[in-house]
Amino acid sequence: MTRAIVLVLDSFGIGATPDAADFGDTGADTLGHIAAACARGECDDRGRSGPLRLPNLARLGLLHAHRESTGGWAEGVAVPADVEGAYGYAREVSSGKDTPSGHWEIAGVPVRFAWGYFLEKEASFPAELIEGLVREAGLPGVLGDCHASGTEIIARLGEEHVASGKPIVYTSADSVFQVAAHEEGFGLERLYRVCEIARELLEPYNIGRVIARPFTGESAATFARTANRRDYSVDPPAPTVLQKLHEAGGEVVAIGKIADIYAHCGISRTVKASGHDALFDATLEALTQAGPRSLIMTNFVDFDMVHGHRRDVAGYAAALEHFDGRLPELLARLGDEDLLILTADHGCDPTWSGTDHTREHVPVLALGAGLAAGSLGGRETFADIGQSLAALFDLPPMADGESFLAPSTPLTGTASSGGH
């Protein structure tokens, strides 16, 4: 029985990386700044109050990992006497601080090439791209064509979109082309079709993702994005550990956005769920069903999408506390040979300027598979996770990363005994 559960807390950074200055992110610290705001009483909102409480993540070593990353304890958060997990922090070698780069690097494949970006804040897209999209998708035109926050732009242009039938196109500091349209007025399937056409037209521009952003509501005051978001990613540049495991006969269960992020490469089964409770429930259910050689990977997107990008500090704190509160349910279901890894794909410091991601270390919290409790230190790349998974599943080593699983763990013995 060799099973791994990888939970990606989307955007949960634990302190700026050495190269953060290249991204304008010197001093960013998603966990540290949320903790400090809570300690100052600034997050007494929506049913939560006081210092940040993360007892279960702390037992796994989160606070120790954050201290190793930043040099200081997260303010006001209770530090446990004993840490039960192996903990560390990892820096990113990929060129970007976007979601696909982070996830692919976690799976052992860093993105060393430079993505294309739309850098202009206004009139962001080349005229021939928009002309092609209007022509091929039969559109009356487009709105937006700028850098924007997705919630702000539907409040600003949503009514004009509904009246005109022109979809809203926008981008950000990430390598993305996003299309927002009303789910009923414009039509969900039509929006997906527009995105598929855009995906093809964007081929020369080296853009990582096209994202469909459907919304509902009657007016600017009530427009709200729905769970029918869909991401159209390019394929990872090389086979990830998900693909290696899948091809070797293992089962890869992708929960939430995971399948979209990996462009459906190396996925055995996709489980869609919306909201952290549903994602957590789906993860528990998948673990109950998981066969002897399986990887369950879940992306908890709301940390990023609902709180990080929205610069909603109290909401981020509450979401972390809620996630932490559910962790014991998962820990209780883990077998001795199971490996649990908690990590993140980039930062999105909700106290930072703008609305974009922040270049940060991510936590690497690991439990099980014979790992001793204690520090894994600073890891040179997120790919150490992918390399560890390759070792766990007795796959050929990945080109990048160093495994943190000791060669003498019981699992290596299981693997070499030919049990699978």
Ligand X SMILES: O=P(O)(O)O[C@H]1O[C@H](CO)[C@@H](O)[C@H]1O
Q: Contact positions toward ligand X, by CB under 6 A?
A: 99, 149-150, 172, 174, 176, 178, 211, 213, 305, 309, 355
309 is known to lie in a ligand binding site = yes
In the list 321, 337, 345, 400, the residue contacting Mn ion (rule: CB under 5 A) is 345
Q: Which residues of 69-87 are buried (b: 16+ CB within 10 A; e: fewer)?
A: bbeeebbbbeeeeebebbb
Q: Which is nearer to ligand X, 150 or 350 (CB)?
A: 150
The sign of the CA dihedral 143, 198, 121, 219 is positive
In this structure, are residues 150 and 180 in contact, taking their beta carbons and an 8 Å threshold? Answer: yes
Interacting partner of 105 out of ligand X, Mn ion, none (Cβ under 5 to 8 A depending on kind): none
Backbone angles phi and psi of 213, in degrees to 5: -125, 75
Q: Which is nearer to ligand X, 211 or 241 (CB)?
A: 211
In the complex, minimum distance from the CB of residue 150 to ligand X, in angstroms, rounded to a whole number: 2
Tokens of 99: 């979601």
Interacting partner of 391 out of Mn ion, ligand X, none (Cβ under 5 to 8 A depending on kind): none
In the complex, minimum distance from the CB of residue 101 to ligand X, in angstroms, rounded to a whole number: 11
Tokens of 88: 């560390």
175 binds Mn ion (CB under 5 A): no
Alpha-carbon gap, residue 91 to 379, rounded angstroms: 6
In the complex, minimum distance from the CB of residue 289 to ligand X, in angstroms, rounded to a whole number: 29
Interacting partner of 176 out of Mn ion, ligand X, none (Cβ under 5 to 8 A depending on kind): ligand X
Q: Which is nearer to ligand X, 135 or 264 (CB)?
A: 264
Q: Which range touches Mn ion (CB under 5 A), out of 25-33, 98-106, 136-144, 183-191?
A: 98-106
- Nearest residue to ligand X by CB is 150
Q: Which is nearer to Mn ion, 274 or 403 (CB)?
A: 274
The three-state secondary structure class of 327 is helix
361 is known to lie in a ligand binding site = no
In this structure, are residues 213 and 179 in contact, taking their beta carbons and an 8 Å threshold? Answer: yes
In the complex, minimum distance from the CB of residue 147 to ligand X, in angstroms, rounded to a whole number: 8
Backbone angles phi and psi of 61, in degrees to 5: 110, 10
- Nearest residue to Mn ion by CB is 99
In the complex, minimum distance from the CB of residue 305 to ligand X, in angstroms, rounded to a whole number: 5
Backbone angles phi and psi of 230, in degrees to 5: -140, 135
In this structure, are residues 18 and 352 in contact, taking their beta carbons and an 8 Å threshold? Answer: no
* Rounded alpha-carbon distances, angstroms, from residue 42 to 57, 336, 372: 22, 41, 37
In the complex, minimum distance from the CB of residue 379 to ligand X, in angstroms, rounded to a whole number: 24
In the complex, minimum distance from the CB of residue 343 to Mn ion, in angstroms, rounded to a whole number: 11
Q: Which is nearer to ligand X, 261 or 369 (CB)?
A: 261
147 is known to lie in a ligand binding site = no
304 binds Mn ion (CB under 5 A): yes
* Rounded alpha-carbon distances, angstroms, from residue 90 to 69, 72, 367: 9, 17, 16
In this structure, are residues 314 and 48 in contact, taking their beta carbons and an 8 Å threshold? Answer: yes
Alpha-carbon gap, residue 66 to 288, rounded angstroms: 31
Tokens of 332: 């209780």
Output Rg (C-alpha) for the chain, integer angstroms. Answer: 21
10 is known to lie in a ligand binding site = yes
10 binds Mn ion (CB under 5 A): yes
Q: Which is nearer to Mn ion, 66 or 229 (CB)?
A: 229
Q: Which is nearer to ligand X, 118 or 404 (CB)?
A: 118
Which residues in 153-291 belong to E strands, given as ranges? 168-171, 176-182, 209-216, 224-225, 230-233, 251-255, 269-271
Annotated binding residues: 10, 304, 309, 345-346, 357
In the annotated binding site for Mn(2+), the residues are: 10, 304, 309, 345-346, 357
Give the interface with Mn ion as residue ranges (CB under 5 A): 10, 99, 304, 345
